[in-house]
Amino acid sequence: MSEVLVLVEHVEGQVKKVTLELLTLARRLGEPSAVWTGPGYSAEAKAKLAEYGAEKIYVADSADIVDYVVAPKAELLAQLVSSASPAAVLVAATAEAKEIAGRLAIKIDSGVLTDAVGIGEGLVADQSIFGGGVNVRSRVTKGTPIIAVRPNATPVEAAAGAGAEEQVSVAVSDAAKAAKVVDRVKEEKGARPELTEAAIVVSGGRGVGSAENFSIIEKLADSLGAAVGASRAATDAGWYPHQFQVGQTGKTVSPQLYIAAGISGAIQHRAGMQTAKTIIAINKDPEAPIFELADFGVVGDLNQVVPQLTDEVVKRK
Amino acid sequence: MNIVVCVKQVPDTATERKLRSDDKTLDRDAADGVVNELDEYAVEEALRLKEAHGGEVTVLTMGPDKASETIRKALAMGADKAVHLVDDALHGSDALGTSYALAQALKKIGFDLVVLGSESTDARTGVLAAMLAERLGVPQLTFANKVEVAGSSIAIQRVTDYGYDKVEASLPAVVSVVEKINEPRYPSFKGIMAAKKKPVEKLGVADAEIDAAQVGLANSWSEVADFAAAPPRAAGTIVKDEGDGGVKAADFLASKKFV
Ligand SMILES: Cc1cc2nc3c(=O)[nH]c(=O)nc-3n(C[C@H](O)[C@H](O)[C@H](O)COP(=O)(O)OP(=O)(O)OC[C@H]3O[C@@H](n4cnc5c(N)ncnc54)[C@H](O)[C@@H]3O)c2cc1C
């Protein structure tokens, strides 16, 4: 069986959930080989990758590889594609990993598919386009398929792999060193899960009314262990930072549960959350289009409903 | 500074968007064409950089004849001239083909800086700027929410999941911008009138030295196997809050095992 390369996403040495999803998916397509880039690799990381099926782990943990924007990682993957001849390369459909996929595609003259929500027989990728209105099945027709898969699209399953480690030495080319990262600024996000990875997302919109009042959204999120999202009306108003915007020009989320409070459900918002498994809407307008999507809706004032829901969740834990 | 800003005409996100049943490409006639929203931020940023550092802003678009509306809008905002890459051979190009065609046009035009929106609202691949940097062999400065140029140096803030990275490079470079980098100006009446007289050069595949075997639907690196309208979601339960809306929502969560 051919190898399937999986680019590992990690933060502070911890393997992200999306990587376990990709490994689960890769097992159906061939033999998963995890590709670790940048510092932070540890025995713990190795164990995690093996637990979810990595037969091989390529480790390229020099700092060089993350000190420049995107290009070194694409270079590394191109090197591995030529040495390992994998059946496919899987990356997470994050902004950065999609860019890596894009540059890799050019380097190895191969097709790339972004934002897949599933991969079937013959490496056919399922995609949901136009804000969730149309489902498409696509395939790569030239080279080694490179597929960026959305977080939360695949239920994870553990299945031990050998986890054979292979150090990869990389000499980052001068061309790949053109854009240097001189500083990384971390903005406080508290203990909440990352928006695109979270199993539960609680979002607030214009109906929340103010930046201060977003605390009721945050409290509900914290009671559920959820990430906080916002509509564009809320980020435009400066009530919540832009990186939490869900929708057409914000993040796309696909959680198990999405709670929309004070959000009307404009098509551009739906584009970012339509594939959530379960949707709850809280809105005082019974005609709000968000109710068309909702599995459960409460017509009412979010200032009453949200705190009550939070209390109930806390009580029932 | 010679700035080229890439803009794309996309179907209005507020209208129903479709794929064509014959060749499974975007149905450009089904919906109104508008400027890809993020590209307006790119045009604005290009104009601000020109205002601060001097030079010229050229609009580059690839698309059918109809895309000239998009060029006019960018010219009305204040860009100096435009290049319209238009050729039937380009129809149906995927991201690889499009990036190749644009890179060839950019080489012909010449540039110190290329500015793009970070993604389009129709394809949403978010890869084009990175691909252009790869093809042109220049620094990739993408997902910028701040751009600063000083002489031949350029620095941006690259938006990340955890905040932002400060990134530095030398010109020439490719920059892509995110939504809240600036507030795009509305074209003034004077701008709209002036736009009518600004030069728009049309380039075909041969003019831009594009190898026709690398572009177009038939030469794409990927294909749409099939597509279908997404099935509608099953109707949910909607209750009116009578003082117990939060409790009922919690009951629902419990029934789905979320609490
Ligand atoms: C190209 C383009 C891209 C866009 N991208 C995005 C995007 O990425 N994300 C996005 O979200 N939008 C996006 N938009 C904007 C989108 O069209 C809507 O304007 C936006 O989603 C509206 O946000 P909202 O639902 O919070 O506000 P509104 O539409 O104003 O809705 C507010 C809702 O809150 C309800 N409400 C008010 N007070 C209360 C209360 N006390 N209790 C309960 N309910 C209350 C109201 O009934 C109303 O339904 C985009 C638009 C365009 C043109």
**Average of per-residue pLDDT across B181-199:** 96
The stretch B148-155 carries a mean pLDDT of 98
Instruction: Report yes or no on A234 lying in a domain.
Output: yes
pLDDT band at B234 (very low <50, low <70, confident <90, very high): confident
The residue to mutate among A263, A292, A303, having the most atoms of ligand 1 within 8 angstroms of its beta carbon, is: A263
Report chain B's mean pLDDT, rounded to a whole number. Answer: 95
ipTM of the complex: 0.95
Query: Considering the domain B2-219, what is its CATH architecture?
Result: 3-Layer(aba) Sandwich (3.40)
Ligand 1 centroid distance, CA of A224 (Å): 23
Q: In this predicted structure, what is the pLDDT of residue A288?
A: 97
Residue A285 lies in a domain: yes
Nearest CA in chain A to B222: A140
Q: b/e map of B179-193 (b: 16 or more CB within 10 Å)?
A: bbbbebeebeeebee
pLDDT averaged over every residue in chain A: 95
Q: Is A263 in the pocket of ligand 1 (CB under 6 A)?
A: yes
Mean pLDDT of B249-257: 97
Share of residues in chain B with pLDDT > 70 (%): 100
pLDDT band at B150; cut points 50, 70, 90: very high
Q: Which atom of ligand 1 is nearest to the CA of A250?
A: 8
Assign A189 a pLDDT band (cuts: 50, 70, 90): low
Is the separation of the CB atoms in B234 and A279 below 8 Å?
no
pLDDT of A190 > 80? The answer is: no
* Distance between first and last Cα of chain B: 58
Q: pLDDT for A108-121, tens place per residue?
A: 999 999 999 999 98
Residue A279 has pLDDT above 70, yes or no: yes
DSSP E strands: which ranges in chain B?
2-7, 9-11, 33-35, 56-62, 81-85, 113-117, 140-150, 153-159, 163-170, 173-177, 200-203, 222-229, 237-240
Find chain A residues with C-beta within 8 A of B28's C-beta: none
Structural domain includes residue A135: yes
pLDDT for A90: 98
Q: Reply yes or no on whether the pLDDT at B219 is more than 80.
A: yes
**CATH code of the domain containing A269:** 3.40.50.1220
Q: Calculate what percentage of chain A has a pLDDT beyond 90.
A: 90
Pairing, β A112-120 against β A124-129: antiparallel
My answer on whether A21 and A161 are in the same domain is yes
Point out the residue among A99, A256, A297 whose CB comes nearest to the CB of B127. Answer: A99
Name the residue among A201, B50, A194, B237 with its Cα closest to residue B59.
Answer: B50
Q: Which domain holds residue A118?
A: 3-177
Tell whether ligand 1 has an atom less than 6 A from the beta carbon of residue B121.
Answer: yes
Predicted pLDDT at A231: 98
CATH code for the domain of A80:
3.40.50.620
Residue A81 structure tokens: 């594609």
The residues, ordered by sequence, that sit 6+ positions from B11 with a Cβ below 8 Å of its Cβ are B17, B26, B27, B28, B30, B31, B32, B33, B34, B122
Domain identity same for A173 and A267: no
- Nearest chain A residue (CA) to B174: A179
Sign of CA dihedral A173, A175, A178, A181: negative
Give the residue-averaged pLDDT of A225-246.
96
CB pairs under 8 A between A and B: 284
Mean pLDDT over A230-247 rounds to 95
pLDDT tens-digit series, residues A155-172 = 999 999 999 999 998 889
Task: Test B241 with A301 for CB contact under 8 angstroms.
Answer: yes
Instruction: Tell whether A169 and A217 lie within a shared domain.
Output: no
Instruction: Indicate the SS3 state at residue B38.
Output: helix
Residue written as token pair 């507020």 = B14
A94 touches ligand 1 (CB under 6 Å): no
CB atoms within 10 A of CB B232: 8
Residues B19-65: tens digit of each pLDDT? 998 999 988 888 889 999 999 999 999 999 999 999 999 999 999 99
Confidence band of B149 (pLDDT split at 50, 70, 90): very high
Domain ranges of chain B: 2-219
Residues A115 and A208 placed together within one structural domain of the fold: no
What's the CA gap between B257 and A55, in Å, rounded?
Answer: 34
Query: Is A306 in Cβ contact with B246 (below 8 Å)?
Result: yes
Span B220-240, average pLDDT: 93
Q: Which of A100, A219, A268, A296 to mutate to test the interface with B (most CBs of B within 10 A)?
A: A296
The distance of A292 to chain B (nearest Cα, Å) reads 7
Q: What is the pTM of this model?
A: 0.94
pLDDT computed for residue B181 by the predictor: 95
Task: State in Å: Cα A208 to ligand 1 middle.
Answer: 11
Residues A253 and A152 in one domain: no
A143, B221: Cβ pair inside 8 Å?
A: yes
A127-143 pLDDT per residue, tens: 988 888 899 999 999 99
- Phi/psi at B121 (5° precision): -80, -10
> Is the Cβ atom of A232 under 6 angstroms away from ligand 1?
yes
| A158 lies in the same domain as A215 | no
The residue whose CA is least distant from atom 14 of ligand 1 is: A268
CB A102 within 8 A of CB B133: no
pLDDT, position A210:
98
Q: How many domains does chain A have?
A: 2
Mutate to test the interface with B, among A12, A309, A310 (most CBs of B within 10 A): A309
